[in-house]
Chain A
Amino acid sequence: MGRRVVITGIGVLAPGGIGAKNFWSLLSEGRTATRRISFFDPSPFRSRVAAEADFDPELHGLSPQEIRRMDRAAQFAVVTAREALADSGLDLAEYDPHRTGVTIGSAVGATTGLDDEYRVVSDGGRLDLVDHTYAPQHLYNYFVPSSFSAEVAWAVGAEGPVTVVSTGCTSGIDSVGHAVELIREGTADVMVSGATDAPISPITMACFDAIKATTPRNDDPEHASRPFDGTRNGFVLGEGAAVFVLEELESARRRGAHIYAEIAGYASRCNAFHMTGLRPDGREMAEAIRVAMAEARMAPESIDYINAHGSGTKQNDRHETAAFKLSLGEHAYRTPVSSIKSMVGHSLGAIGSIEIAASALAMENAMVPPTANLHTPDPECDLDYVPLTAREQRTDAVLTVGSGFGGFQSAMVLARPERSAA
């Protein structure tokens, strides 16, 4: 067996849970962080609910210049990268910077910054020929989101491969999957890898309104995100980031690092069906799961917990339930499945990494986070979704999945390194 990759540091910034510790408190207590949108007046929109993070960049150590030049999503990435690095106890100065890389996932890049700046240079949408004299220098950093990975690379001192992975709502899994590949093949020894998105802006609300993807449950914002519930009617937009320190297993062991989990398997497939629609049978997600488990050399019976995509749209939760049955067979009915989007919303490209963090922390704490707001059964969603209350349970192997626009379906298996040795 070749080089194996483990998580040795975690940084999380989620609505209601900034920092990995606070994030886990929120999840383990089953609290929700969804609310009426406060960032702008949401009254013109069909969906007026979001999971917003109360984030003060200065409080989190960003300098005035960093705050000025970075979109909110880039700020999230830098803050969580620093947290992950501190958590890992790794002193990167002792490592070859050429062998340290960065991958950051993001579905929509600096969409909030672009929305804000467009409004100014177009003078509120009046000008077709937008006015360049009102554009800030950092607009180019918003134009191309690889600036996010550059900011993280500067923050941690990485000089190996540095890139952004942008596969829509699976970006957070695919970014980490890509980083794992780079360590396995020997291109890098350490990867600072995760994902970020800060999409809560008028243009994002408008585009999801247009296809009725987000929930109109505006009178009850705290309970608006309802994955697998019979009354679900759309997702709740969120924001946030999670970044990990990934290391080669033997090197992490030699320095006595705390190991959260091995990333034992990963795969991604496309449904080649529709940019936003899903076929109900879930066969492409099932294929991704099957390949990820084969890479991890694990049978369905080894999976102790499934961290679901569980966005809370009618079609997703049905699609995903079918995919679990197709890939895990009878074991799907015996495995707890939960969606943390019920608590922290759907932060598009970021959520895949935030869910990897939740999966690793579930292993760490021997506890499965619940699906909040799940009261009404849906006959088409008939698995054990861990309603309302977290469950104490030894958790040695977790399957986490994502599904997104463009048809991307990704799956990742986390496991204890001593368990999945083969």
Chain B
Amino acid sequence: MNARAVVTGIGVATPNGMGVEDFWAATRVGKNAIGPVTRFDASRYPSRLAGEIRGFEAADHLPNRLIPQTDRMTQLALVAADCAFADAGVEPGDIPEFDMGVVTASTCGGFEFGQNELKKLWSQGSQYVSAYQSFAWFYAVNSGQISIRNGMRGPSGVVVSDHAGGLDAIAQARRQIRKGSRLIFSGGFDAPVCPWGWVAQIAGGRLSTGDDPETAYLPFDSRARGYVPGEGGALLILEEERTARERGAENVYGVIAGYGATFDPRPGSGREPGLRRAAELALADAGVRPRDVDVVFADAAGTPSLDREEAEAITAVFGPFGVPVTAPKTMTGRLYSGAAPVDVVSALLAVREGLIPPTTNVERSAEYDIDLVTGQPRTAPVRTALVLARGHGGHNSAVVVRAAD
């Protein structure tokens, strides 16, 4: 159990950047990527903004035969996997096939692919449904396709815990490293920016109805009124530290040092939600005290009651204004299972640069006793970061990342 799982490669595809350096160049300065939905006509819906990845053509990156059999979120994940391998300086063939695996999270699977096939089924007939429907939409597709493309035959998996799932996947990847796997891919991707996905998200009751990209998603702001959804995510390459160093890994971004997951008490119980406990479990697992933590990447639901719960959990662990808190997902919207892995990437890059990316557009509110990093990025040494994530229904997960040296 003493093996340390380090992150040695990153692949990221978000509305404000493809690839780790583009993503960070945009994120560190607070570049907004939320805008009106362009992938379909959203004018008739109560929510009309999204964080879309513009200008992505799967055919520029992937073999033609893969295009008709994959949803957009799988295409993004496959490209991110290629980038992560390149970033890590590993060729898939360098490592024995049973020592490499893929653990991903998903929220809704290939929802747009599913939408298109449901449309054919009900408007044209069952014989028009694609031969790829049997696997292109289901939650396991990204782990399957990444493993096939890269010849990875080791322990793999798929978890679904809504927005919290990305951290659960990273934790499961760390378990596999500790059990002896050499290299595990982990993270999450979702891309439900399609009419059917839109209607399902609206039904959740937490989407912002604002039309101004700069004020629609304002977590911890007194004007908060829901979130803006986005598409994309991130994949990390985890390796056992010693073997990573032995092969001369060039990028050792940091250590996945701690993890905790909890579930809220039944609705109406009146008892404290589980987020504080998840954070405390992650800190204990990492063997760090609250005062060792240099920044918290918040879940930042953007709904007043959920923001209050989170601010109270942070305050309970760190004290009022006890730690800088940030939510760079205000730039991209919430990326479902991809959101938390992207925050882990931001945390690792904050460690690398000594800079905390800002929570954009938000004005600090006197209602919350947290030191929210708003407006400008903040220069500060960052050695330890806590990432929080929550999923619909009561899932809470927390991950601690630390500098590797």
Contact = CB atoms under 8 A, between A and B. Distances in A.
A406 interface: yes
A386 B199 CA distance: 50
Contacts of A121: 196, 199
Interface in B180-203: 192, 195-203
Nearest to B196: A130
A161 B150 contact: no
A57 interface: no
A379 interface: no
Interface string A204-216: 0111111101000
Contacts of B199: 121, 130-132, 135, 139
A230 interface: no
B175 A144 contact: no
Contact of B203 (A115, A128, A136): A136
A73 interface: no
A206 B203 contact: no
Interface in B144-180: 144-145, 147-148, 150-162, 165, 168, 172, 175
Interface stretch (B245-253, B260-268, B286-294): B260-268
Interface residues on A, range: 35 or more
Nearest to A148: B160
Contacts of B203: 132, 135-140, 143
B321 interface: no
Given A135-B202, A408-B144, A267 B155 contact: yes
B143 interface: yes
A300 interface: no
Contacts of A171: 140
A19 interface: no
Interface stretch (B52-60, B125-133, B217-225): B125-133
Interface stretch (A152-160, A329-337, A358-366): A152-160
Contacts of B46: 132
A163 interface: yes
A97 to B, nearest CB: 8
Interface stretch (A6-14, A101-109, A251-259): A101-109
A90 interface: no
Interface string A170-190: 010010001001000100000
B119 A128 contact: yes
Given A129-B41, A132-B198, A161-B262, A145 B153 contact: no
B161 A272 contact: no
A121 B201 CA distance: 14
A269 B129 contact: no
A166 B134 contact: no
Contacts of A115: 118
Nearest to A42: B126
A268 B155 contact: yes
Contact of B123 (A126, A167, A272): A126
B392 interface: yes
B45 A132 contact: yes
A119 B123 CA distance: 10
Contacts of B205: 137, 140
Contacts of B197: 143
Interface string B106-137: 11110100110111111111110111011100
Contact of B263 (A114, A137, A139, A158): A158
A33 B352 CA distance: 60
A213 B265 contact: no
A413 to B, nearest CB: 16
A206 to B, nearest CB: 4
A64 interface: no
Given A98-B262, A129-B195, A132-B45, A166 B138 contact: yes
A317 to B, nearest CB: 19
Interface stretch (A20-28, A273-281, A395-403): A273-281
A373 to B, nearest CB: 24
A350 interface: no
Nearest to B141: A406
A265 to B, nearest CB: 13
A405 interface: yes
A227 B316 CA distance: 57
Contacts of A49: none
B158 A167 contact: yes
Contacts of B117: 203, 206-207
B152 A270 contact: yes
A163 B131 contact: no
A128 B195 contact: yes
A165 interface: yes
Contact of A162 (B41, B107, B123, B161): B161
B174 to A, nearest CB: 11
Contacts of B152: 270, 272
B177 to A, nearest CB: 13
A408 B140 contact: yes
Given A144-B392, A147-B392, A268-B156, A130 B195 contact: yes
A72 to B, nearest CB: 17
B246 to A, nearest CB: 24
Contacts of B201: 140, 143
B296 to A, nearest CB: 21
Given A132-B202, A162-B161, A272-B148, A207 B40 contact: no
B322 interface: no
Nearest to A157: B266
Interface string A118-129: 110110111011
Nearest to A170: B140
B133 A163 contact: no
A124 B122 contact: yes
B200 A146 contact: no
A207 B120 CA distance: 11
A284 interface: yes
B129 A165 contact: no
Nearest to A119: B122
A150 B395 contact: yes
A262 interface: no
Interface stretch (B96-104, B367-375, B376-384): B96-104
Contacts of A406: 135, 138, 140-141, 143-145, 147
B114 A114 contact: yes
A272 B157 contact: no
B274 interface: yes
A398 to B, nearest CB: 22
A167 B140 contact: yes
A125 B200 contact: no
The 3 closest A-B pairs by CB, nearest first: A406-B144, A125-B122, A125-B123
17 contacts: A108-B138, A118-B196, A130-B199, A132-B199, A140-B204, A147-B393, A159-B262, A160-B263, A167-B140, A178-B172, A209-B126, A210-B131, A275-B145, A287-B153, A406-B145, A406-B147, A408-B156
Interface of B: 1, 40-41, 44-46, 69, 97-98, 101-102, 106-109, 111, 114-115, 117-127, 129-131, 133-135, 138-141, 143-145, 147-148, 150-162, 165, 168, 172, 175, 192, 195-205, 261-267, 274, 277, 391-395
